[in-house]
Amino acid sequence: MTKDLLWRGMLAGILAALLATLFARVYAEPLVDRAIAFEAAHESHAGMHGGHDDDGAEAPVSRAVQKSLGLATAAVLYGAALGGIFSLVFAYCYGRVGRIGPRTLALLIAALGFAIIAVVPALKYPPNPPAVGHGDTIQLRTAAYFAMIAVSIVALIVAARVRTMLVGRWGAFNALVGAVAAYILVVALAQIGLPRIDEVPNDFPASLLWDFRIVSLGMQLILWAAIGLGFGWMAERRLRRGVAPR
Amino acid sequence: MATAAPAFDDPFIPVSGAPAIPVGEFAPWAVLGLLLALILLYFVSTEQGAVALFKGTSVHEFVHDGRHLLGFPCH
C-alpha cells in the first residue's frame, strides 16, 4: 500500500507542479524579468545568471530557457519530491490520526504543510527576486533558511506531543489550543535566535518585491492545494480497491 | 434540504481490513521515498548555490527561476 501511495503522491506532485508552472509563467515571469532588468541596470551586483551577463560572457542558460523549460523542470522536480514526502506522511497518519477519510486527511495535511513549510519559514526569510541578496552570503542564507524550515517541522512534532500530553486533562479543544501555542513559542524563539538578513538594495522597487513575494506564495498555495486534492482523490480510489491485486 | 450536512463526508476506509498501514510495510518505502525526495530537492534548491557537486553554473542557471520562486536563497 505504501508503495502505491508513494507513486501516487509523486504523480500528484508532478501534476500540481505543472499547474503551478502555468501560474508562475503568467504571473511571476514578468516580475522576474523586471528584477533582472533592475539588476542589469545596477552593475554593482555582477550577475551570475543567464541571459544578462553584460560582460559579453556567454551565459550558460538563456533567459528563454530559464523561464520555460528551466522553470518547469525545477517545479516538477520540487513537486515530485514534495508529493512523495506528502504521500509518506499520509501513509503514516492515515488511521493513526483519528479515523478521518482519505480526502479530508490529504487536504488537512496539505493545509498544514503549506503553513509549516511554505508560510512560516517565509515569515523570517521571505522569497527574494533576482537582484536581492549578496552572492557572498549564500552559505549563511541557505543554512539559516533550512534551519528555519527544520525548526518549523520540529515545532510541529513538539506541538503534537504537547497535544497528546494535555488531551486527557484539558480536553481535545483546549489541548489543541495549547499545542498551537507551543508551536508558536518554539518558532518565535527561533526567529529571534536566527540571524537577521537584510539585503534588499536601497532603491529596489518595494512594489516589485511585494508582488514577487505574493506570487511566490500563490505558487506554493497552488502546489499544496493541488497535491492535497489530487492525492486525496487518488488515495481514496486506491484504498477502495483494497488489497493490491499484485 | 439538509441544512446540517457534515462539512467532510468522505468516510474512513480501512486499509485492507486493518486500521492503518503497518510500520513494517511503511518503513522501507519511507526510506526510499525520503532519499529520492531529498536528492531531488537538493538539486532544485542548493546545487551550485551554497554547495556544489558539479563545476560551473549550468544547474543553477537552469533551475534559476524556480529556485527564486520556490523561496530558496539563490545567489
Nearest chain A Cα distance for residue B12, angstroms: 4
> According to the 3-state scheme, what is the secondary structure of A77-128?
HHHHHHHHHHHHHHHHHCCCCCCCCHHHHHHHHHHHHHHHHHHHHHHHCCCC
Q: Which domain holds residue B52?
A: 48-75
In a domain, B24, yes or no: no
Q: Is the pLDDT of residue A60 over 90?
A: no
Measured between beta carbons, the chain B residues lying within 8 angstroms of A94 are: 15, 20-21
Q: Does A218 touch chain B (CB under 8 A)?
A: no
Query: Is B75 part of any domain?
Result: yes
Q: Collect all residues of chain A within an 8 Å Cβ-Cβ radius of residue B45.
A: 78, 142
Decide: helix, strand or coil at residue A25: helix
- Number of domains, chain B: 1
Give the mean model confidence (pLDDT) for residues A225-232: 98
Q: pLDDT > 70: what percent of chain A?
A: 92
The answer to whether A88 touches A6, Cβ cutoff 8 Å, is yes
pLDDT score of A45? 47
- What residues of chain B lie within 8 A of the CB of A101, using their CB? 8-13
Under DSSP, is residue A150 helix (H, G, I), strand (E, B) or coil?
Answer: helix
Please give the Cα distance from B15 to A186 (Å, whole number): 35
Task: Report residues of chain B scoring pLDDT below 50.
Answer: none
- CA A177 to chain centroid, in Å, comes to 25
HSE (side-chain half, CA atoms, 13 Å) at A200: 17
Q: Which whole-number Å values give the CA distances from A184 to A18, A108, A146, A158, A159, in the listed order?
A: 33, 19, 18, 11, 9
Contacts 24+ apart (CB under 8 A), A34-37: A34/A205, A34/A208, A35/A129, A35/A130, A35/A131, A35/A132, A35/A208, A35/A212, A36/A63, A36/A130, A36/A131
- Does the beta-carbon distance from B12 to A101 stay under 8 Å? yes
Rounded to a whole number of angstroms, the distance from the CA of B4 to the nearest CA of chain A is 18
> How confident is the model at residue B6, as a pLDDT?
81
CB contact under 8 A, B29 and A91: yes
Determine, yes or no, domain membership for B31.
Answer: no
Q: What is the pLDDT of residue B13?
A: 93
Residues of chain A with Cβ-Cβ distance to B51 below 8 Å are: 142
Residue B53 lies in a domain: yes
Contact list in B for residue A9 (CB cut-off 8 A) is 33
Say if A152 is an interface residue toward chain B (CB within 8 Å): no
Residue B58 lies in a domain: yes
Nearest Cα of chain B lies from the Cα of A45 at a distance, in angstroms, of: 10
Does residue B18 lie within any of the structural domains? no
Distant-in-sequence, close-in-space partners of B18: CB < 8 Å, separation ≥ 6:
A95
User: For A158-185, how does the pLDDT look when each residue is reduced to its tens digit (9 = 90+)?
Assistant: 999 999 999 999 999 999 999 999 999 9
CA B22 to chain centre: 22
In a domain, residue B3? The reply is no
Look at A14-18, A58-62, A203-207, A233-237 and tell me which has the smallest mean pLDDT: A58-62
Position B28 in a domain: no
